Amino acid sequence: MNEYQVSCITKSTPYGGHEHITHIGGMGSSGWRLTKEAAIRRIRSKNEAFFTINKLTGGKEYIGVVDATPPYLRTHADGVWNDNLLAQPICPSAYGVLE
């Protein structure tokens, strides 16, 4: 399984209000972003995994799919869902969107 570190996100309301993640992204040779829908498909395929790094512990916190209507992304560590993903900085608009 391929694993990718997520180091930024894009939100529907970037600076407050009701937050809803529209894209996840990471640094690489040129930076990348995936739509929420593409990330959900890739996670559910079990061929790819995405994670953030916990700033306190240095451990990986994997991103999972919460089956709600509509489904959404959230980090999961040690059996507990948390909001680490929402704490990531905003992705630069120059990062290309992958599908």
pTM for this predicted structure: 0.84
The answer to whether 40 touches 27, Cβ cutoff 8 Å, is: no
pLDDT digits (tens, 9 = 90+) for 14-59: 555 556 889 999 986 678 999 999 999 999 999 999 999 988 888 8
Q: Helix count (H) and strand count (E) of the chain?
A: 1, 9
Tokens of 30: 């040129």
Structure-block tokens of residue 36: 């929420």
